[in-house]
Chains A and B, each alone.
Chain A
């Protein structure tokens, strides 16, 4: 009864072709349970995922324990960061 989601990796391959992520400071808005963010988590220098849904964030944190990703409960309209700190902001199905 399993669902296979994007086994071809179309989403991540299009993102990687669009922009190098290595060494960058990246914010993903709408990270959910971390399905997308974990596909490129080894590339950036710093990676932050935000989402308003706490249960999803708990799943994301559990799956990513020990990695350098930070997960925060927040919304895109009020980002808890100072100006000019990210090279890349990704709206992941969250606009």
Chain B
């Protein structure tokens, strides 16, 4: 909330504010390969849901206060790719600590799918992203 007010202060009149962030929406862990893709099951992104709620509330409040008006909100996938389960786990341990839960059965199914040795096989996680565009009022 304070950061949004600070952003409004440093913006020129009619300036633009963007809110770009990943959402805590469950997404599939996919195995993709030349000619196909399969889902090994969903990844639980709920551990960070409180940040989504806080950010959405902050945006709602500055809109209500008349500091900004919403121009549009859109969503897209921000995809991550790995060639092995170990590489994926290493990245998740380093960068997404306590932010995602991957059920063991999803890992096991992904491992089975990888073992099918399709050509150009990769693991894919497509994080759901929000891009919100807002205009400073006044």
Contact = CB atoms under 8 A, between A and B. Distances in A.
Contact of A10 (B72, B78, B122, B133): B78
Nearest to B54: A95
Interface stretch (B15-23, B39-47, B106-114): B15-23
Contacts of B6: 76-79
Interface of B: 2-4, 6-7, 9-13, 15-22, 55, 58-59, 72, 74, 76-84, 86-88, 90-91, 122, 129, 131, 133
A29 B83 CA distance: 32
Contacts, number: 124
A90 interface: yes
B77 to A, nearest CB: 6
Interface of A: 1-8, 10-11, 14-15, 18-19, 25, 27, 29, 75-79, 81-95
Contacts of B15: 84, 86-89
Does more than half of chain A's interface fall in helix, strand or loop, or is it mixed? loop
A31 to B, nearest CB: 12
A95 B90 CA distance: 26
B3 A76 contact: yes
A14 B76 contact: yes
Contacts of B81: 3-4, 7
A11 B129 contact: yes
Nearest to A77: B2
A45 to B, nearest CB: 13
Contacts of B83: 1-2
Contacts of B78: 5-6, 10-11
Contacts of A29: 3, 7
